[in-house]
Amino acid sequence: MALIFKKRTFRGGVHPEEMKELAKDSPIEVLPPPRRVVLPLSQHLGAPSEPKVKVGDEVKVGDEIAGAKGFVSVPLHASISGKVVAIDKFPHPCGRRMPAIVIEGDGSDELPWGKKEKEKIDELTPEEIRKRVLAAGMVGLGGAAFPSHVKLSPPKEKPIDTIIINGAECEPYLTSDYRLMLEHPKEIVEGMLIIKKALSAEQAFIGVEENKVDAAELLAEECEKAGVDAKVVVLKVKYPQGGEKQLIKAILGREVPPPPGLPLDVGVVVHNVGTTYAIAQAVKYGKPLIERVVTVSGKAVREPKNLLVRLGTPFSELIDYCGGFSAPPVKVVMGGPMMGLPQFDLSTPVVKGTSGLLLLTEDEVTLAEEGVCIRCGRCVDVCPMNLLPTEIAAYCRNGMWDEAEALDVLACIECGSCAYNCPARIPLVHYFKTAKAEINARRKAQAKAKS
């Protein structure tokens, strides 16, 4: 069995309460298709998709309703059959109203793809694989939502020798990846082989935290059964173990250079297990990305579950399917509690990056006013990027962006370890996000002025 237990890990990190017991034993259930979906054009990093339909058009599930706008962009597909009734601005998980296509369902749900393979994977070239991944609208499903075909298209001068499939799922509460690994190990291994072929990589690893060792064992057995030369690595439980740079360090001992450095600079590409599963479905059967697994959890929801949900489904329908509220939530978060986005409108739709929907009670949320830094250095101790959070925050508070940039604020991965460990409850990540936005805005303005 290709199972390896690694003692090596990355520097820093924290150990928040896991809270995975709420939903980890809940098998994936299919949420019935909604009567109406709102599909934002911006569901990924890069340029938003560009509408290819107009109000009044009839569409079938899986139809491409918006096209990729540039290389770092992907198409968008109808997640239900029906009529396009609006193309306008609607609530978006980012907290703003953004352009979206609205489809009213007609009650039919004939899926145009089946379980018959289009061609054998061995018959496909790397370029054909990349084209299918792009055509499916595939993006990273771990939360970052980076277009998958771009990751599969490294520059010729930066060959990839290793792929890592990320099954760490280090965020508290979230169990959607865990359930995928338990219920679909064969498909994940197939997706891994597809990714490996697309990149002509020499070796493959699957990284899984030790609190999911049963999933790691299933994946190792599947690799052995399929005669796949890949290693399943069981890692220490520590947040943010699922960060790309931290995963590469823990498994391979390689250091990804600071920004603009990327994993491909050390010959590695990382894909989440959910993405890997979806890539297998897209390449083998031509299935576009119209649905994803979402963990609905927290003490404020009556029945925490893992649901297979059509994109564009309002959050309220997920909550209703899980029995509604068991207590009034004081905070609603899309994603995990460490890096997720607070939500204020339950009509907001599920998007490609929606890994979880958390409904948290007062005893699950730290409600405290920001205090004064006591110079304890705890934020420095836990920063996985070896930054000086307290010093950077001081510059950010005073609008000293050049000084913040000099201390590598752009290298911050916004994991929240520093804020989690801060006794003064300083919202450090908020300061860093503001600084990064200011610095990037200035860079764009300077580039525009030169052109």
Q: In this structure, is residue 295 part of a structural domain?
A: no
Q: What is the pLDDT of residues 196-228, one digit of tens each?
A: 999 999 999 999 999 999 999 999 999 999 899
Q: Which ranges of 244-360 would DSSP assign to H, the alpha helix? A: 244-252, 273-285, 315-321
258 shares a domain with 156: yes
Q: In this structure, is residue 261 part of a structural domain?
A: yes
What are the φ and ψ backbone dihedral angles of 288, each rounded to 5 degrees? -75, 165
Average pLDDT, the chain: 95
- CATH assignment at residue 228: 3.40.50.11540
Q: Are 79 and 312 in contact (CB under 8 A)?
A: yes
Q: In this structure, is residue 45 part of a structural domain?
A: no
The structural domain count of the chain equals 2
Q: In this structure, is residue 186 part of a structural domain?
A: yes
Which of 389, 384, 386, 385 minimizes the C-alpha distance to 419? 389
CB atoms within 10 A of CB 239: 27
300-313 burial by CB neighbour count: b if 16+ within 10 A, else e?
Answer: bbeebbbbebbbbb
| Residue where a domain terminates, one of 263, 285, 307 | 285
Q: In this structure, is residue 244 part of a structural domain?
A: yes
158 shares a domain with 265: yes
* Strands 76-77 vs 64-67: parallel, antiparallel or unpaired: antiparallel
396 shares a domain with 253: no
Residue 2 predicted with pLDDT over 80: no
Band of pLDDT at residue 123, cut at 50, 70 and 90:
confident
* The model scores a pTM over 0.85: yes
What are the φ and ψ backbone dihedral angles of 3, each rounded to 5 degrees? -115, 125
Mean pLDDT of 32-46: 97
CB atoms within 10 A of CB 18: 18
Q: What is the pLDDT of residues 257-302, one digit of tens each?
A: 988 899 999 999 999 999 999 999 999 999 999 999 999 999 999 9
Residue 122 CB burial class (10 angstroms; 0-12, 13-18, ≥19): exposed
Q: In this structure, is residue 294 part of a structural domain?
A: no
Task: Give percent of the chain with pLDDT exceeding 70.
Answer: 98
Give the torsion sign (CA, 311, 315, 317, 322): positive
Q: In this structure, is residue 349 part of a structural domain?
A: no
| Residue where a domain terminates, one of 257, 285, 313 | 285
Q: State whether residue 337 is helix, strand or coil.
A: coil
Residue with tokens 């508070």: 397
Residue 1 predicted with pLDDT over 60: no
| Residue where a domain terminates, one of 285, 314, 348 | 285
Q: Are 283 and 129 in contact (CB under 8 A)?
A: yes
Which of 65, 73, 71, 76 minimizes the C-alpha distance to 48? 73
The C-alpha atoms of residue 407 and residue 404 are separated, in whole angstroms, by 5
249 shares a domain with 130: yes
User: Which residues does residue 433 pair with via DSSP β-bridges, in sequence order?
Assistant: none
386 shares a domain with 278: no
Q: What is the pLDDT of residues 310-348, one digit of tens each?
A: 999 999 999 999 999 999 999 999 999 999 999 999 999
> What is the 3-state secondary structure of 64-99?
EEEECCCCCCCCEECCCCEEEEEEEEEECCCCCEEE
Give the domain range for residue 169.
3-24+117-285
Q: In this structure, is residue 144 part of a structural domain?
A: yes
281 shares a domain with 399: no
Return the pLDDT at 115: 66
Return the pLDDT at 400: 97
